[in-house]
């Protein structure tokens, strides 16, 4: 059923309940809140795959954002509930990973945001690009294949 909301099958999803803390002076969700929710959604998905911040720190690697593309397709108001979906659409098993996102408004019954975020693997200790460890490759690549 949930697949019917989104343009791609097999998403990872989580719920975002809109409260007054994220409402801006125009009376709708502030753009910064959407960016934060992209991060929250990505981390929840990574955590479900067994990749926690502790696992990242253990191997001195992390996935750093190098590019965001966001399309805002409608304003969201307080008390709405948003289904946040993400897919891993690219994992080169070396350095880069790409996530695609869609946010579905239950109140408006439509997609209100589409985004794509590109990540590069870095050493946490230096911030320099480093080869993705097998600890990342195995779950991220498998998830990309599962979600296709």
pLDDT tens digits for range 67-112: 999 999 999 999 999 999 999 999 999 999 999 999 999 999 999 9
pLDDT at residue 1, rounded to an integer: 61
Are the C-beta atoms of 53 and 109 separated by less than 8 Å? Answer: no
pLDDT tens digits for range 7-17: 999 999 999 99
pLDDT tens digits for range 20-42: 999 999 999 999 999 999 999 99
Calculate the CA 48 to chain-centre distance.
Answer: 12
User: How much is the pTM?
Assistant: 0.95
Which distant-in-sequence residues (6+ apart) come within 8 Å of 134 by Cβ? none
All domains in the chain, ordered by first residue: 10-147 (3.10.129.10)
Sign, Cα dihedral of 87, 90, 93, 94: negative
SS3 breakdown of the chain: % helix, strand, coil, rounded to 5?
Answer: 30, 40, 30
Read off the pLDDT band of 4 (50, 70, 90): confident
The torsion angles phi and psi of 124, rounded to 5 degrees, stand at -65, -35
């Amino acid at each position: 059923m949930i697949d019917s909301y989104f343009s791609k099958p097999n998403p990872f999803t989580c719920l975002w309940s809109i409260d007054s803390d994220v409402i801006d002076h125009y009376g709708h969700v502030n753009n910064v809140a959407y960016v934060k929710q992209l991060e929250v959604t990505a981390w929840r998905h990574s955590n479900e795959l067994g990749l926690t911040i502790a696992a990242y720190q253990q191997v001195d690697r992390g996935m750093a954002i190098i590019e965001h593309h966001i399309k805002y397709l409608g304003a969201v108001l307080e008390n709405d509930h948003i289904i946040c979906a993400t897919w891993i659409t690219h994992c080169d098993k070396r350095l880069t990973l790409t996530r695609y996102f869609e946010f579905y408004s239950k109140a408006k019954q439509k997609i209100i945001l589409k985004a794509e975020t590109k990540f590069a693997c870095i050493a946490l200790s230096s911030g320099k690009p480093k080869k993705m460890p097998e600890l990342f490759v195995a779950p991220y690549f498998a998830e990309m294949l599962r979600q296709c």
